[in-house]
Amino acid sequence: MIQHFNLPSGENMAYRYLPGEGPVVLFLPGYMSDMRGGKAQAVMAWAEARGRACLLLDYTGCGQSEGVFAEKSLPLWRDEVIALLGGLGIERVVLCGSSMGGWLMLLLAEALGARVAALVCLAPAPDFTDWGYDAAQKALLARGETLLQDNPYGPEPTPTYAKFWKAGQQSLLLARGVAFDGPVRLIHGQADPDVPWEVSLRLAAALRSADVQVLLIKDGDHRLSRPGDIALLLRTLGELPEQA
């Protein structure tokens, strides 16, 4: 059942919470995605079948949450997710991110510290506001304009808003390192046209943790939503160390 949490901003965030055992598996969707996606639903079904606790959510400005997407940013979503966890009384989580959700996952891991038991991510895209745009596109965004790009996944162009881009540039992680010490599992397709698989290798090097594994799928695309891809994600969640 979809519920709504009233944030300090006054906006309502849509979420679905399944109580259960162990740290709560929190799924973080990608850019302009929401909890109705196949990977999020698969994670919830996996948790339900095993009596595990799970939390799905829509970022404000997305899905069934309130808000205007053009006004949102990664740091804002980080703070809103932390507020939701506090409102639900959730103390410990396994963060499971997809694409942009992997960048948000890292920001949350640093903010929550020991409350995060483990990280699992599909096609993590940290710092994509930096490496994902050319000089002309960055100049346009720096002027406060909106960048529209062809969308291979739908009929409407994909917008990047200046506020989101600027906040992303202030939240870069790969060069400075990521202060997280727990288990990390990164899954990336080597046929990903959107996020180069080498980004996962850079992230593995940037993480402070010594328990980092990178799983490469030779013919995997960006979405990694085929049955075999999702099966690997769920198997990876199930094989985390017991303390996670």
Whether residue 9 lies in the annotated active site: no
- pLDDT tens per residue across span 41-97: 999 999 999 999 999 999 999 999 999 999 999 999 999 999 999 999 999 999 999
List the beta strands (DSSP E) in the chain: 3-6, 12-18, 21-28, 52-57, 93-98, 116-122, 147-149, 158-160, 184-189, 212-217
Residue percentage of the chain with pLDDT more than 70 = 99
Q: Give the model confidence (pLDDT) of 170-219 as tens digits.
A: 999 999 999 999 999 999 999 999 999 999 999 999 999 999 999 999 99
Choose, from 58, 127, 192, 229, the residue flagged as catalytic. Answer: 192
The answer to whether 4 is a known catalytic residue is: no
pLDDT of residue 155: 83
* 42-79: b (≥16 Cβ within 10 Å) or e: bbbebbeeeebbbbbbbbbbbbbbbbeeeebbbebbbb
- Is position 222 annotated as part of the catalytic site? yes
Q: Where does 3-127+176-238 sit in CATH, by number?
A: 3.40.50.1820
- What local confidence, expressed as pLDDT, does residue 243 receive? 67
| Domain spans in the chain, listed from the N-terminal domain onward | 3-127+176-238
How many of the other CB atoms lie within 10 Å of CB of 29? 24
> Which residues neighbour 195 within 8 Å (Cβ) at sequence distance 6 or greater?
99, 123, 124, 125, 128, 188, 222
Catalytic residue among 58, 65, 222, 229: 222
Q: Among the options 98, 99, 171, 200, which is catalytic?
A: 99
